[in-house]
Structure 1
Amino acid sequence: MTVSVVLFTSDLRVHDHPPLTAAVAAGDFVVPLFVRDGAIAASGFAAPNREAFLRDCLAGLDAGLRERGGRLVVRSGDVVDVVRGIAARARADEVHVAAGVSGYAQARERRLGRALEADGRRLRVHDAVITAVAPGAVTPSGGSDHFAVFTPYFKRWSAEGARRPLRAPRAVRVPEDVPSGRIPRRDAVRGVAEGLAAGGERAGRARMLAWRRDGIADYAARHDDLPGDATSRLSPHLHFGTLSPAELVHLAQERGGPGADAFVRQLCWRDFHHQVLAARPETSVADYRARHDRWRAGASADADIRAWQEGRTGYPVVDAAMRQLRHEGWLHNRGRLLAASFLTKTLYVDWRVGARHFLEHLVDGDIADNQLNWQWVAGTGTDTRPNRVLNPVLQGRRYDPDGVYVRRWVPELAGLEGGRVHEPWKLGAAERGRYDYPEPIVDLGEGLARFKRARGRE
């Protein structure tokens, strides 16, 4: 009897799953295993929104395996200890896992590989499971281990192409003598955002197919449309791996057209950040390109940070974005850019403060995408224009011209019609008094001048 273990991490699906496919093909039995890692819980990364979504995903993965005659084995503890114990009990020859990109994931693979080798077993690490193209599959000429600029990466990534998606296995046989803990329930998690979406592979695939059918065609023209909410909202499913990025690339390319092309480009941006983090794990906490910033600190900065976190900056489109984040555990990408630019450039606050706050709320809070997008906006990352500043008034007028998005999330200003909602401080005194909304915490001109001085751009 041949047995393999599949260690699920950020790949909680049965469709297009190379480790599961390889394990099923290798022998008689498979132990599909998810370990609730105590180190991740201790780090604070298991924020309520992601924990709730994860529980949906685990229940969905178990259901998908049971439809194929299997089941999910859930355990808690140190990943290496748990996997060794399960492999020994099941008398497994191999353990299959998707390659990770974070420093923690890479260290986990090294520890696990050494431990299994000592036990006379083998760890098989599969590439292109959580990304469409493996981080090391395309590298620039000249010996560098990663691309630091997106456009040349996109050209090479496009030429490489995503691998062909795999079918879900028809049957998964799990040894009866491998017990499992209970799959935790979502409704037991406290502090979950009121508008948090449902997780799990079934929900992800339904959204994916609806997006391909009804949304992707207009994506190029509408992806920055704040009130229209015309993005795919697939990012939580990509983060937890209930959807395959390789399958998404192929579905979009089969659909074709400008919208599909623009969507594929965004999937490439995700891979781009993953290959940067894989090569430079320290960028999760350290500047990719130091600008010698002396970020603001102290009581004044702390007050500004609280106003930003609470959506009370006095700049309606920024406040709308921050309130959407709290309510849904998700945020439109244009809103993310505006909120991040305001904190790092206008308020001149360390990007790590913003990144940490986002990770406390975002259901799709991915270390690669979150940290490196924050660095991109802050000008310490891969942006070729590190000193660009997004003006929230101009951005609001452009991407929410009639103020619909602002009024949706900042109900205090619901009585203001049209674009007037973006500059309530310009109202006459009598009219202004009718709205319980704060004055701007900083003048945009003063904030810009402060940033230019800090970066030596005057």
Structure 2
Amino acid sequence: MTTPSLLWLRQDLRLHDQPALIAAAHAGPVIPIYVLDDDAPGKWKMGGAQRWWLHHTLDAFGTSLADKGSRLILRRGDAVEVLTALMEETGAGQVHAIRHYEPWSRKAEAALGDRLCLHDGNHLARVEDVKTGSGGQFKVYSSFWKALNQMMPPGEPEPVPRTIPAPSKWPKSEKLADWDLLPTKPDWSTGFKDWTPGQAQALKNAKAMAPIVEAYDVDRNLPSIEGTSRLSPHLHFGEISPRTVWHAVDGHGDATTFRKELAWRDFTDGVVLTMPDYGDTNGRPKFDKLPWRSGKAADADLKAWQEGRTGYPIVDAGMRQLWATGWMHNRVRMITASFLVKHLLIDWREGERWFWDCLVDANYGNNSVNWQWVAGTGVDSNMFGRIMAPLSQSEKFDAGDYIREWVPELAKVTGDAVHDPEESGCRPKAYPAKIVGHREGRERAIEAGRHAR
């Protein structure tokens, strides 16, 4: 019997266009292994919403493997130690895996050394290959996109292997149910019912995006119609490859805006490749002097923001959608983040951590770069003095029906008054007053920015 190989699975839970799986299957018997490693990431271990998704996608992926005569082995612990022990137990000669860019993932890859054969498959192009003229990684997205676009289109996706050779003897696997990934007391995931984790749904979502891709440039900003692809958690868990998504919209009109959003994921991994602590450290050191608010009043404001009780309907709708469904509309993510950082003058890292725990698509590169973009502290970001006006943003992007859906206290408020019922004189008693005035919050943020400069 040919020596088996381990297929180390992380955020690449698919059979379609999976280069590590293809290489391992070509070499001989394959032992697919997923290691739940909560120690290596430290405080960046998966949040609650991600764990809910992980349970269901592992279940679906295990079924897909079984249909191919294979199986998914589950182990918990330090990934390097688990893989090393499993190689000795099974006599596996090599570990195949798709390359990842989170700092803890790269550390584990380095520790495995020449036992590990890495493949590129979770990006449109290998991150290290998209370089500036001086040979470094891009820190400005517009320049990155220009360079990446010259390398496009990506190669065609690879089909699912016809067979996945099985080893003569399977190692023992832990039981998924024993990992307690699903919430029980209480079960806060009842609003997640509209999600279907797994490769099959990811491919359906990509196909559904094709006929509406031309409208994406406008519709993606309208919360009430959700003109986005809802592919983000599927991409995060690797249930579909970026190049599969790229080619899914071929021949359906101008898909530039959609593809630029897809490429943003590649850019953010390039940022954390060169700045691995970007999730904790300001991209611009001058903002280390920024006087963030702290103390009881700031803590109370943070809690009100988390619970969607700020008195700003578009902000509250977004935060309640996040808690209920594990996802938030992209335009609203920017509005809610800007409100926390600018109007409330609360450190962006507080919001970043909340999103990390609540988002099913929480990705280290995306989450940290996006928060620093809004906060104005990042290497490629808005100026700190640019402050989004949530009330006018709500009206501009026609968020009335979105607000009525997620803030039931305002469900009966008609017309444009729903964007600012307090100013319109029709705020229901059950809905809170604004925790800070727009002008007051704006002026406080501008003064803090001056202090930092």
Cα offset for 1:200?
Answer: 1.4
**1:37 offset after TM fit, Å?**
1.2
Check the 8 A contact 2:40/2:104 in 1, yes or no: no
The one-letter code of the counterpart of 1:289 is: R
Q: 2:189 aligns with which of 188, 193, 204?
A: 193
**Superimposed CA distance per residue, residues 341-380 of structure 1 (whole angstroms, 9 cap, x where no aligned partner):** 0000111110000001111110111111111100000001
Match of 1:155 among 146, 154, 173: 146
**Distance in 1 between residues matched to 2:430 and 2:310, nearest whole Å:** 13
Which deviations, in whole Å up to 9, do the C-alpha atoms of 1:170-213 show, x marking residues without a partner?
A: 11122133222223388843344322212111222222222224
Q: Is 2:92 the counterpart of 1:92?
A: yes
Provide the secondary structure at the position in 1 that maps to 2:33.
strand
2:336 corresponds in structure 1 to 339
Does the residue aligned with 1:136 lie in a helix, a strand or coil? helix
Q: Deviations over 1:384-428 (max 9, x none)?
A: 534311100110001125x11111111111121111111111234
Shift of 1:306: 1.0
Determine if the alignment matches structure 1 residue 446 to structure 2 residue 440: yes
Indicate how the Cα distance of structure 1 residues 346 and 384 shifts in structure 2: closer, same or farther if over 3 A, else same: closer
Mapped contact 1:52–1:192 kept (Cα < 8 A) = no
**Normalised TM-score (structure 2):** 0.93
Gaps of 5+ in 2: none
Residues 424-446 of structure 1: CA distance to partner in whole angstroms, max 9, x if unpaired? 11234xx44x4411111111111
- Pairing partner for 1:392 from 369, 390, 393: 390
Q: Is the 8 A contact 2:210 2:252 kept in 1?
A: no
Task: Name the aligned partner's letter for residue 224 of structure 2.
Answer: P
What amino acid maps onto 1:181 in structure 2?
E
**% identical aligned pairs:** 36
1:262 aligns with 2:257: yes
Question: For the Cα contact (< 8 Å) 2:305–2:316, is it kept in 1?
Answer: yes
Deviation at 1:40, TM superposition (A): 5.7
Tell me, in whole angstroms, the C-alpha distance in 1 between the residues paired with 2:448 and 2:198.
45
SS of residue in 2 equivalent to 1:160: coil
Q: Equivalent of 1:370, from 352, 367, 377?
A: 367
2:124 maps to a residue whose letter is A
Asked if the contact 1:16–1:244 (Cα under 8 Å) also holds between the matched residues in 2, the reply is: yes
Moved more, 183-192 or 165-174: 183-192
Match among 242, 246, 251 for residue 248 of structure 2: 251
Whole-Å separation in 1 of the counterparts to 2:382 and 2:346: 21
1:72-127 superposed Cα distances (whole Å, 9 cap, x missing partner): 111111111111122222222211111111111111111122xxx5xxxx211112
Match of 1:279 in 2: 274
Q: Do the aligned residues in 2 keep the contact of 1:40 with 1:46 (CA within 8 Å)? A: no
Q: 1:305 aligns with which of 302, 306, 320?
A: 302
C-alpha distance in structure 1 between counterparts of 2:59 and 2:40, whole Å: 20
Cα deviation for residue 221 of structure 1 reads 2.1
Q: How many residues align?
A: 441
1:302 deviates by: 0.9
Aligned partners of 2:26, 2:91: CA distance in 1, in Å? 17
The whole-number CA distance in structure 1 between the counterparts of 2:301 and 2:139 is 32
Q: TM-score, normalised by structure 1?
A: 0.92
Find 1:205's aligned residue among 203, 206, 209.
203
Once residues 125 and 17 of structure 1 are traced to their aligned partners in structure 2, the CA distance between those partners, rounded to angstroms, is: 12
Cα shift at 1:130: 2.0
Aligned to 1:60: 60
Matches of 2:397 and 2:269, distance apart in 1? 28
Contact 1:154 1:265 (C-alpha < 8 Å) held by counterparts: yes
Name the counterpart of 2:30. Answer: 30
Native 8 Å contact 2:51 2:181 kept in 1:
no
Q: State which drifts further: 75-84 or 202-211.
A: 202-211
Post-superposition offset of 1:64: 1.5
CA distance in 1, matches of 2:83, 2:395: 54
Residues 45 and 359 of structure 1 are in contact (CA less than 8 Å); yes or no, is this contact kept in structure 2? no
In the alignment, the residues of structure 1 paired with residue 38 and residue 219 of structure 2 have an alpha-carbon distance, to the nearest angstrom, of: 41
> Which one of the candidate residues 221, 224, 232 is aligned to 1:224?
221
- CA 1:79/1:160 → structure 2, altered by over 3 Å: closer, same or farther? same
Q: Give the Cα separation in 2 of the matches to 1:188 and 1:222.
A: 33
2: CA distance between counterparts of 1:158 and 1:194? Answer: 41
**Residue 449 of structure 2 aligns with which residue?**
455
* Equivalent-residue separation in structure 1 for 2:422 and 2:278 (angstroms): 39
Displacement of 1:133 after TM fit?
A: 1.7
Q: Would the aligned equivalents of 1:309 and 1:322 in 2 still touch at CA under 8 Å?
A: yes
The alignment yields a C-alpha RMSD, in angstroms, of: 1.9
Displacement, 1:216? 2.4
CA distance in structure 1 between the partners assigned to 2:226 and 2:243 by the alignment: 24
Mapped partners of 2:33, 2:325: distance in 1: 30
Q: Conserved in 2, the CA contact under 8 Å of 1:48 and 1:192?
A: no
1:111 aligned onto 2:111: yes
Give 1:65 deviation, angstroms: 1.4
Q: Which consecutive residues of structure 1, in runs of 5 or more, have no partner in the other structure?
A: none
Q: SS at 2:129's partner residue?
A: coil
Q: Does the 8 Å CA contact 1:284/1:371 hold for their aligned counterparts? A: yes
2:351 is aligned to 354
Task: Report SS of the residue matched to 1:195.
Answer: helix
Aligned counterpart for 1:135 among listed residues 117, 120, 127: 127
What is the distance in 1 between the residues matched to 2:102 and 2:47?
Answer: 18
Indicate how the Cα distance of structure 1 residues 219 and 451 shifts in structure 2: closer, same or farther if over 3 A, else same: same
Q: Are 2:237 and 1:240 equivalent residues in the alignment?
A: yes
**2:375 and 2:382 in contact (8 A); partners too:** no
CA separation in 2, counterparts of 1:360 and 1:263?
Answer: 26
**Residue 236 of structure 1: how far off its partner (Å):** 0.5
Counterparts of 1:40 and 1:333, CA distance in 2: 30
2:190 aligned partner, one-letter code: E
Task: Return the offset for 1:251.
Answer: 1.8
Deviations 1:261-304 (A, max 9, x none): 21101011111111111121010111111323121111111111
